[in-house]
Amino acid sequence: MFVGSVIIRTCRRKGCDMKRRDLLKNIILFIPVSGAFRATIQAAQANSDLNGYHPENHYYGMGIEVAKCIGCGKCIEACKIENNVPREPFFFRTWVERYIIKKDSSVAVESIHTGGKQPKETIEEKDILRSFFVPKTCNQCANPPCVQVCPVGATFSTDDGVVLVDRDRCIGCRYCIQACPFGARYLHPQTRTADKCTFCYHRVVKGLLPACVEVCPTQARIFGDLRSRASELVRFQRMNKIHVLKPYLNTEPKVYYSGLDGVVN
Amino acid sequence: MPKKVPEQIIRLGIVISIIFGSVALTLYLLPPALKDKPFHRRSTILAETAKPIQFAGSNACADCHDDKYQQKKTGYHRNLSCETCHGPAAEHAADPITIKPFVARERRGCPTCHEYDPSRPTGFPQINPTIHNPLQPCVTCHNPHDPVPPRTPEECAACHAGIVRTKAISSHALVACTTCHTVPEKHKITPRIIRPTKPETRDFCGKCHAKGAPVVDAPKIDLSTHWEKYVCWQCHYPHLPAERL
């Protein structure tokens, strides 16, 4: 229909006398021709550009061993450097939460900051029953609610299981930020578009580890390919009791936790 | 008598069927490859993969700095990536002469991980930076590529300060750590691989606390009747025995 209106408009401007029959003929001809054209281009593009990387052969996930995290915040810093995330502590693609369970069984949670003062709770050490850090990031859900709600289709899952945002399409409506049950998205203050963890997609396709995994000093984060039985992540899943965040929401997260405490949500 | 269907209705019917037909074609007949990967996804993936890399990865470092790599490989920092401490070094890898990565020679760097924090996992080496050799850069005593204590600590308190402090105010204050724990000499060098022993049986505590034991001032119980299905430390914390768990 769009093509038809274009033709009609050009006709009017040029004053030509195209018959309705010609118009219909053109439209009917246009559909298969354009389809074939597009298919050719797609076929040509399919194996170029990514330097021999085939997304359909991979399916990425992350493992997190809670007991190993020392809360140093190196992952947060590295992520900000690698991905141009604003330096302010309230913008982050990945973050680390400190859980303090007190002897009266109340729970205090805070997101740790890097560089500068910690917003430390005034909890006496003798009141602490147990305490630990939980690294969090986008869960790259297999069934992502953020993708469902996007009104313009700007966010989508890739073949290798990473949820990406198209910065040119995103209109900054914040629906996805609201829809994410894990709070993994934020509105980038410069581009005014939604931004989130991409598993460092630009590194992964080149065979490098995501920046947070690369710098983690205690191997609390494990990155790997779920399609490969030899990957570290599959080994991690084999050797540990695994839990995911908010399993009851059926978003099927691909960030797997071992040793996750029941109070974490 | 049935009237002939007017020409314009037939035409309208044809147009409608074409519209429905094309919708059906796109929905059911076209192969998925032709429709569900729109161009904009491809362009997003290309834009995403074109982003510059900041962290070169530790394999890149090992190419030139093999000496440091070999030294680090056997030490406690063997699993650390170089860029954890030295910061992003992809630019340095591309232009090693003019661009130098960050080298942490001050005291600031190490406490990021090694400052005492109650939320950190037990056994992770931690210090209190205000009392641990104040103002001295860590590298004067510790080699960050192969970190070990500069000299073997003589007292248990060097690492187990919390337990020693607790024990000091308990009724076990005068009992030495080695009374209950046998400490292999190698525990001081590889503390988390070679571990001291711990008491395993009720009879161990019974050596002082059983009826008729030679230690006079220890409280006595009858081992055969006193909660005989449990081991002592399920109820009594040995480093602070007065406080029942």
The one-letter amino acid at A96: V
Question: Which tens digit of pLDDT belongs to each residue from B163-208?
Answer: 888 898 888 999 999 999 999 988 887 777 889 999 999 999 999 9
**Contacts B117 to A, Cβ<8 Å:** 70-71
Unique residue bearing structure tokens 């056994």: B123
Query: Under CATH, which architecture does the A57-142+197-258 domain have?
Result: 2-Layer Sandwich (3.30)
* Whether the predicted pLDDT of A1 surpasses 60: no
Phi, psi of A229 (to 5 degrees): -70, -20
* Whether the predicted pLDDT of B104 surpasses 60: yes
To test the contact with chain A by mutation, choose from B18, B48, B53 the residue with the greatest count of A C-beta atoms within 10 A, namely B48
pLDDT for B19 equals 96
Residue A159: both structure tokens together: 């073949």
Contacts by residues B30-37 (CB-CB < 8 Å, ≥ 24 positions apart) = B30/A35, B33/A39, B33/A42, B34/A35, B34/A38, B34/A39, B34/A42, B37/A42
pLDDT for B243 equals 64
Q: Are the folds of A57-142+197-258 and A145-195 the same?
A: yes
B12 or B63: which leads in pLDDT: B12
Establish, for the pair of chains A and B, how many residue pairs have beta carbons separated by less than 8 Å: 117
Contact B81 A214 (CB under 8 A): yes
The verdict on B80 touching A (C-beta cutoff 8 Å) is: yes
Under 8 Å between Cβ of B137 and B110: no
**Contacts A215 to B, Cβ<8 Å:** 55, 81, 83-84
* Whether the predicted pLDDT of B79 surpasses 70: yes
**Contacts B81 to A, Cβ<8 Å:** 214-217
- pLDDT (average), residues B136-154: 83
Question: Which tens digit of pLDDT belongs to each residue from A217-264?
Answer: 999 999 999 999 899 999 999 999 999 999 999 999 999 999 999 999
Under 8 Å between Cβ of A79 and A85: yes
Residue B147: both structure tokens together: 């970190």
Cα dihedral B84, B87, B93, B96 sign = negative
Element (H, E) at A258: strand A255-258
- Calculate how close chain B gets to A41, using CA atoms only, in Å: 10
Unique residue bearing structure tokens 């629906």: A175
Give the domain ranges of chain A. 2-44, 57-142+197-258, 145-195
Under 8 Å between Cβ of A245 and A253: yes
pLDDT for B33 equals 56
Cα dihedral B90, B96, B102, B106 sign = positive
Give the domain ranges of chain B. 56-114+130-150, 157-234
Question: Which tens digit of pLDDT belongs to each residue from A79-104?
Answer: 999 999 998 888 999 999 999 999 99
- pLDDT (average), residues A121-145: 89
Under 8 Å between Cβ of A163 and A155: yes
Contact A156 B41 (CB under 8 A): yes
Mean per-residue pLDDT over chain B, rounded: 86
B30 or A175: which leads in pLDDT: A175
| Interface predicted TM-score of the whole assembly (ipTM), two decimals | 0.76
B93 or B31: which leads in pLDDT: B93
Task: Give the pLDDT band of residue A28 (cuts 50, 70, 90).
Answer: confident
What's A157-225 look like in SS3?
ECCCCCEEECCCCCCCCCHHHHHCCCCCCEECCCCCCEECCCCCHHHHCCCCCCHHHHHCCCCCEEEEE
Under 8 Å between Cβ of A68 and A218: yes
Under 8 Å between Cβ of A196 and A93: yes
A3-17, A43-57, B224-238: which is most confident: B224-238
Instruction: Supply the CATH classification number for the domain A145-195.
Output: 3.30.70.20
The Cα–Cα gap between A91 and A38 comes to 39
CB-based contacts of A5: which residues, under 8 Å, 6+ apart? Answer: none
Lowest mean pLDDT among A2-11, A154-163, B104-113, B175-184: A2-11
Of A39, A205, A215, the CB nearest to B34: A39
- pLDDT (average), residues A13-31: 79
From the list A155, A212, A205, A161, the residue with the least C-alpha distance to A185 is A155
pLDDT for A11 equals 56
The Cα–Cα gap between A36 and A38 comes to 5
Task: Give the pLDDT band of residue A116 (cuts 50, 70, 90).
Answer: very low
Mean per-residue pLDDT over chain A, rounded: 87
3-class secondary-structure state, position B77: coil
Of A71, A74, A165, the CB nearest to B120: A71
From the list A63, A58, A30, A114, the residue with the least C-alpha distance to A221 is A63
Contact A206 B53 (CB under 8 A): yes
- pLDDT (average), residues A58-63: 95
The Cα–Cα gap between A113 and A115 comes to 7
